[in-house]
Structure 1
Amino acid sequence: MNLVKPVDPVDAEDLGRVHFVGIGGAGMSGIARILLKRGARVSGSDSRGSELLTELRGLGATVHIGHAASHIKNIDTVVVSTAIRDSNPELGEALRQGLRVIPRAAALASVMAGREAVAIAGTHGKTTTTSMLTVALQKCGADPSYCVGGQLVTTGLGADEGTGEVFVAEADESDGSFLMLAPRIAVVTNVEADHLDNYGEPEAVHASFARFVERIGSTLIVCADDPGAAELVPIARARGLVVRTYGESEGADFRVSQITPDGMGVAFTVSFSESISVGGAETGGRVRLAVPGAHNALNATAVIAVATVLNLGFDEVSGGLAAFTGAKRRFEPKGEAGGVAVFDSYAHHPTELAADLKAARDVVASFSGSGRVIAVFQPHLYSRTRFFADELGAALGLADEAIVLDVYGAREDPEPGVSGAMVAGRVPLPPESIAYAPDRAAVPALVAERARPGDIVLTMGAGDVTELGPHIVAELSGR
C-alpha cells in the first residue's frame, strides 16, 4: 500500500514559518491561502507558474518556480503532498535540518483545529457536497472557512478563511489522509472500491472508512441508499455518535422523493422524521437546484442534514442551495455552438460516469427531448483502467455515442496491454456509435462529425480531457 501515515496535528499557530513543496496544487494552495489570511509567514515552490501562484504572491507568500535545497531557509514546518517524491531536494534538506515535515492533510487538520469542523467524505460526491454546503452557509450568513478539492463557481476559489466558526473541508480518502482529520460533524456520501493502487483490495477501503468514523467527535451523517455507507451506522452508534441518515430509502431520517428534472437543474422533496427539527419546520418541503441529476438531490439533502446540527432553518438552507451554481469540472458548461451544448466533468469512476450521464439525459429531456448524449471519456490511471474496464465501459453505455481517449497516466507508468481500447471495447453500444481516439488532437473534429443540434457533449475524466471543451466548441462553430 502507498497510504499516508497519520500524524498528530499541530495547532496552526505552532506551525511557525511554513514552506509548501508543491504549493501550486489545489489542496496545498488552499491551505497556504488560509494561513496567509491568518497572518502566517508562508513560502513554497512548484515546478511551474500559475494564476494560483500569482495570487498567493499577492497575499504575501514567497513563491519559487522550481525546487532547490536553498529554498529551505529560516523555515519551521515543511508541508508536502503525496505527489512529492523522496528525491525532492527541498524534502531532503528539510529532513537534513531536522525540521517538522508533515503531509498536506496534517496541515489541513491544523487549520481546522479549534473550529466547528465539518468534513465531507465518500468515494464520490465529496467536492460537490462540500461546495454546496459552503455556498449554502455563505448565503445563510454563516461565512465559513472552507477547503474544497475543486473551485466554487461563485468565488472562483477552492479555499478561503471566513469570519464564522464553521470550517467545511473535503476529506480525501484516496491516500488514507482523511484519517488525520478529527471533525465534529462528518458526512459519508458512499463507500465503494476505488484507489485500489493504494488500498490493494476493496475490504481495505471499507476498513479505512470505519477508522474514519473513530475520528468523528459528535455526529455522522450517511447516505442510507449506499450499502457501504450504511455499514458505518452500527459502528458509529456503538461509539455513541449521533447518526442521521438521508436518501430515498424508507426509514431515512431525511427522505428524498419526487425527484424531477428542472431545466438545467433538478427539483425534489425532502421530508424528515418526527425526531428531526430543522429550524422549526415539521415536514420538510420542496427544494430546487440549479445543477442537474438525482445524485445532486442526494448531495443537497446531506447539506440539509448538516444544517440541522448547525441549527439552521430548512427554508434558509434550501434557499442557499438554490443559489449554488456548481463547482469547476462538475458538469461545468463550456459553451454552445450549432445547437450543441458542451459540458465538462471530473467523473473518472464508473459510478460517477453513470451519475453524470443520467443527469445529461435529464437535461436533454428538459430542453429538446430528441437530443442525444455524446460522451468523450479519458480513462485516468492505468491501474484504475485495469481494475474497472468492464464497469467503465458499461457506464458509457448510458450515452448515445461514446468516444474513448487513451489513458491519462498521471503518476503511473504505462502498463503493457492497458489502454483506452480496453474501455472502448466494453461499451455496449452499436459499433458505429463507439470510437477509440488515441490522438487527443483529433477528438474535436470527431465530435463535430457526430454531433447534431439538440445534443449534449460531455467531456469526462480526471486528466487533461478538460482542455478539449473550448476546442470542441470552436470546431462546432466552424462547421
Structure 2
Amino acid sequence: MQMPRETGPIHIMGIGGIGMSAIADILHAKGYTVQGSDQKESANVRRLRAKGLRVFVGHDPINLVGARYVVISTAIRKENAELQAARAKGLPIIRRAEMLAELMRLYSTVSVTGTHGKTTTTSLIAHIFTAAGVDPTVITGGIINDWGSNARLGNGPWMIVEADESDGTFIKLPSQIGVVTNIDPEHLDYFKTVDNMHREFEAFLRNIPFYGLAVACTDDPVVAQMLERLELRRDGRRLLTYGTSQGADLVLATARVEGHKTFFDAELGHAVRGGARALKGWMVPVPGQHNALNALAAIAAASEAGIPDETIKRALAEFSGVKRRFQLAGTWNGIAVYDDYGHHPVEIAAVLKAARNGARGRVFAVVEPHRYTRVRDLFQDFAQCFKDADGVIVAPLYSAGEPPIDGVNSKTLAEAIRAAGVPIVETV
C-alpha cells in the first residue's frame, strides 16, 4: 500500500535544504500537493516555486493553513513556532527519512552512505543507470549538472538515493544495494561518540536484505574492521569490496590524473556479476584517486543491476559532474578557480591532492570552516589537511546556526595551519 494521491497538502519545513528540496521535487512530480517553508530565499526555493510549489520564507504558524502532514528534518528545532503550532493542531509530524523511506518502498533501491563521496558516487550511479535506459528515480545531495537538479522522477523500477548519515535516520531506508564509501568521525553533535556512529553504520549494513548486496570500500580501515566483525559472508549475505588492495573484489590497479580527468584500470573478481575481468583504459572526468574509487563503487552497483561494461564505461566518460564538487568555476589571468563543497578535513585533503596532481603551478586554498562543533572536534585534522596547498586563506567560520565556542574561530585555525607548515596563511 502506498500513500494515497488525495492526501492533503504535505507541508515541508526547511524545504530549501538540499535533501528536503529533492523530496519535495519527487512528491510533486508524483502528483502530491506539496508546499513548504524555509528560513530564507535560495536557488532551491526559487526552483521549486518555478515548478508551481507554494513556498513561504520564514517560519510562522500561518504557513500551516490547509496542511495535512508536516515533514521536518533535524535542522528544525523543537522550539520552532511553526512546528509547535503543527503539534498543537494535531498534524502528523513526519521525519525526513520516514518520508524518503515511503518513496523508496515503491522501487528497487540503491542507497549510498559514508562520510565522504556520497554525492559523487550517487550521481555516478544515477548517470550510469540513466545512460543505460533504466530511467531511475533519483534523490541526491547535490545538483547534478546534466539535470540542474538534485532530484529526478523516472518511470523505471530503480531508485538511487544518497543516504545522509548525519542524524542516524539512514538506517530506516530500505536498500536493496547499499554502498558504504568510508567512515570518519563526523556529526558528533548528534552521535556523541565515535562508537555510536560506528554502530549506526553496522545497522545500515545489517539491514540490507538477504537478497540484496552490500558494497564497501576496504581501503578505509574502519570499514574493513567493521566487515570483519559483521561477518556478512559467513551468514550467506552478499558483499562486494572495492579499493586498492589486492584482497578486494574490485581492485583499483592504476589511477592517474591528467587535468580534470582521472584514467584508471581495474581488476574485477569472480564475485562481481559477470565474473572476473579486467577493465583497461577507463576514465571519469573528475580528478583524483578518490573519484576513481567512487567510480568502482558505481561499477559494482551498475553491474549488479545487469548493466553491461561497455555502457558503464561510456557513461562514466560522459559524466558531467556535480555542482560544487571540484567544479571549474572559471579562470582569471590563466588561473583555474575550482569550487568544492567539502568541509571535512579528509574531503579537503582529497581535493587538494587532486588539485596538486593536476596543477602545473602553485595551489592556493580558500576555506570557509563550517560549524563550530566540527572545527572543535576535528581541530588537529583541520590543521594538518592543507599540506598540499602552497597557501591558505581562511574565511570567517560559518556557524550553521550554532552558538560560538571559545577559542574556535578562523584566527586560531589559521595559526594551527601555519604551525603545520603551510608557508602562506591569511585570514579575511
Pairwise TM-score range, normalised by the shorter structure: over 0.9
1:151 aligns to 2:147 (yes or no): no
Match of 1:226 among 220, 245, 249: 220
What is the distance in 2 between the residues matched to 1:11 and 1:225? 40
Number of the residue aligned with 2:125: 133
Superposed CA offset, 1:138-176 (max 9, x none): 111112111111101111100121111110111111111
TM-score, length basis structure 2: 0.94
1:247 aligns to 2:243 (yes or no): yes
Identity, % of aligned positions = 38
CA 1:83–1:432: 2 relative to 1, 3 Å: closer
Number of the residue aligned with 1:354: 349
Q: Greater CA deviation, 51-60 or 86-95? A: 51-60
Query: Structure 1 residue 407: deviation in Å?
Result: 1.7
Number of the residue aligned with 1:379: 369
Query: Structure 1 residue 431: deviation in Å?
Result: 7.3
What is the distance in 2 between the residues matched to 1:286 and 1:13? 49
Query: Structure 1 residue 432: deviation in Å?
Result: 8.2
1:47 aligns to 2:39 (yes or no): yes
Contact 2:417 2:425 in 1 (8 A): no
SS of the residue corresponding to residue 416 of structure 2 reads coil
Contact 1:404 1:435 in 2 (8 A): yes
Contact 2:183 2:223 in 1 (8 A): yes
Number of the residue aligned with 1:464: none
TM-score, length basis structure 1: 0.84
Match of 2:262 among 258, 261, 266: 266
Runs of 4+ that moved beyond 4 A: 428-432
Contact 2:132 2:311 in 1 (8 A): yes
CA 1:91–1:295: 2 relative to 1, 3 Å: same
Gaps of 5+ in 1: 1-9, 440-479
Number of the residue aligned with 1:90: 82
1:328 aligns to 2:306 (yes or no): no
Number of the residue aligned with 2:415: 425
What is the distance in 2 between the residues matched to 1:26 and 1:14? 24
Please tell me the root mean square deviation across aligned C-alpha atoms, in Å: 2.0
Q: Greater CA deviation, 46-55 or 164-173? A: 46-55
Question: One-letter code of the match for 2:224?
Answer: A
Superposed CA offset, 1:303-334 (max 9, x none): 00001210111111111111112111111111
What is the distance in 2 between the residues matched to 1:155 and 1:168? 15
What is the distance in 2 between the residues matched to 1:380 and 1:403? 14
1:75 aligns to 2:67 (yes or no): yes
Contact 1:15 1:77 in 2 (8 A): no
Superposed CA offset, 1:308-362 (max 9, x none): 2101111111111111121111111111011111111111111111110110011
Question: One-letter code of the match for 1:326?
Answer: G
Gaps of 5+ in 2: none
1:340 aligns to 2:331 (yes or no): no
Number of the residue aligned with 2:425: 435
Query: Structure 1 residue 30: deviation in Å?
Result: 0.9
SS of the residue corresponding to residue 151 of structure 1 reads strand
Number of the residue aligned with 1:414: 404
What is the distance in 1 between the residues matched to 2:233 and 2:97? 26
Contact 1:12 1:113 in 2 (8 A): no
CA 1:403–1:70: 2 relative to 1, 3 Å: closer
What is the distance in 2 between the residues matched to 1:407 and 1:57? 31
